[in-house]
Structure 1
């Protein structure tokens, strides 16, 4: 007979699986319908749940659900970028991988990208409260700042302010992606090459 500990482990696994199912449905709903129409009812239908009560059982409300959605997307993007960067041995190579991975992610994960854009728009429109930590995570340039500082310390980069440089690079990436997503279709591979070349010249140690 299975003890209480075994039952608790099964229950925890089942609950985690259900939460993941709901999060994935929320991602798809945000991407397809936009945040204004991403109701619990639509998400419940997308997840093929029997009622919206199953969402409420696992998430206290939209702030908690959309926070988990953003965390899931950001974690996926982080792993994607880190994997690309880990293949490089120089800081210049890692910086190039950081930039190109941002453009490659939008191509390989279009649904996640659109869903995250909807969350960003939702936050900026102040349509929902309780997402301050999500906004900080989305706008964070800590990883890039650390990479630039390490490259500077190693003598590969000739920059004087890692944070300012990181903000400039991230801003350029986000602006190109914004134009691409706003129906101004752009050649992302060409954009990645151009931006990588420009940044490489700007940060190069002389």
Structure 2
């Protein structure tokens, strides 16, 4: 019964129902964890009459989970990329990326919690859904750093290694938000941006 068509071939109703299911899956995983997020639980949250309606739109749980991960990354990209891509200098781009990432974490905690639950709950999550976008993100940070070095904005350093460090700092920021609900996000963002700028700027 499942429609074997590309997303561009879906009717408006089918696309809306798929989006509804993906949203329900994301929220269910964030609340219950990956293992307990069954089709029955997802269907209940989505207000569907039967879990079988999920199987109509998605071949299996892995296909649905893949769409959840893709949705989180796309949402984050829509928030973060404009802050970096529209910058005139590498320093502004780096500042926009770091601040934008933390803003996304703060305003979309359910998204990030679901992503973490999937990463920790699915044995093949990293290779299936995370390695490629994470590598692409590191490539983007590295490109900004190299651009800054070429323009004389940044000091000489191994760009890939520093990109990994910045990425690790952001992962630490996400963890801090999870364990500190009343975190002063504005202050944390300000200091982490300053830390990144001091670490790379040309003296």
TM range (shorter): 0.7 to 0.9
> Displacement of 1:97 after TM fit?
0.9
CA drift of 1:102 comes to 1.4
Q: 1:185 to 1:174 in 2, by over 3 A?
A: farther
Residues 1:139 and 2:152 are matched in the alignment? no
| Distance apart, 1:136 and its partner CA | 0.6
| Partner SS state of residue 25, structure 2 | helix
In 1, are the aligned partners of 2:76 and 2:104 still within 8 Å (CA)?
A: yes
Asked whether the equivalents of residues 27 and 115 of structure 1 are also in contact (C-alpha less than 8 Å), the reply is: yes
Contact kept, 8 Å, 1:88 with 1:94, in 2: the verdict is: yes
CA contact (8 A) 2:25 2:68 kept: yes
C-alpha contact 1:95 1:147 (8 A) present in aligned 2:
yes
TM-score, normalised with respect to structure 2 = 0.86
Give per-residue Cα distances to partners, 1:81-109, cap 9 Å, x unaligned: 01222443211011011111111112221
Gaps of 5+ in 2: 1-7
Residue 188 of structure 1 corresponds to 185
| Matching residue of 1:158 | 155
The alpha carbon displacement at 1:180 in A equals 2.3
The reply to whether residue 149 of structure 1 matches residue 154 of structure 2 is: no
| Equivalence for 1:199 | 196
Contact 1:25 1:43 in 2 (8 A): yes
1:173 maps to 2:170: yes
- Tell me, yes or no, if structure 1 residue 100 matches structure 2 residue 95: no
For 2:64, the equivalent position in structure 1 comes to 65
Provide the rounded CA distance (Å) in 1 between the counterparts of 2:25 and 2:198: 41
Aligned pair in 2 of structure 1 residues 11, 106: CA closer, same or farther (>3 Å)? Answer: closer
Contact 1:31 1:115 in 2 (8 A): yes
**Cα-Cα RMSD:** 2.0
Superimposed CA distance per residue, residues 98-123 of structure 1 (whole angstroms, 9 cap, x where no aligned partner): 11111111222122122112122224
CA 39–159 in structure 1, closer or farther in 2 if over 3 Å, else same:
farther
Contact preservation (8 Å) 1:80, 1:101: yes
**Deviation digits for residues 33-68 of structure 1 (CA, Å, limit 9, x no counterpart):** 222221100101111112111111211212111111
CA contact (8 A) 1:63 1:131 kept: no
